[in-house]
Amino acid sequence: MSTEHVNPQALDNVMVAMAEVQRKSQAFMEMITRGESLSVNQIMLMFQLRLAGSLNITDISERFLITAGAASVMCDKLENAGLIERVRTKEDRRVVNIALTGEGEQRILRLFDRFSAEELKRITDNLQQIHELMNGIVR
């Protein structure tokens, strides 16, 4: 599509909306992680582990768009804090999966203590609506 057919105001509206969604998303993460000693990426990794059950270093590096070495360092810090553990598979002892510990699970739950069930539902509904709208654009 040629740029001469683009409505400049429509383009500005999209850019403003994208910036606002990103800013609000970042602000929400900062709100739930306020007072935490962990980085946002470390907490997001813990979220991913809770949802997936376990991930290997390659999975983590792909999800976070970082090198395997950087993923290992992030895992080292969480492991030293007792929040994750490395688990070797029975089928192939060379394969190592990363999983939350019970302490890691409790740490995640405490992040959301400040929200009522109603607030969590409202947040979930809004985020799911954004997700569905974005699915129609990005596949």
- CATH code at position 57: 1.10.10.10
Q: pTM of the prediction?
A: 0.80
Structure confidence at residue 1 (pLDDT): 52
Q: What is the mean pLDDT of the chain?
A: 91
Q: Which of 79, 76, 77, 57 is nearest to 68 (CA)?
A: 57
**Rg of the chain taking only CA atoms, in angstroms:** 19
In a domain, residue 45? The reply is yes
Asked whether residue 87 carries a pLDDT value surpassing 80, the answer given is: yes
The larger pLDDT score, comparing residue 138 to residue 124, is at 124
pLDDT-above-70 percentage for the chain: 97
Residue pointed to by tokens 């400040």: 114
Greatest mean pLDDT range, 3-17, 28-42, 74-88: 74-88
In a domain, residue 94? The reply is yes
Same domain, 47 and 102: yes
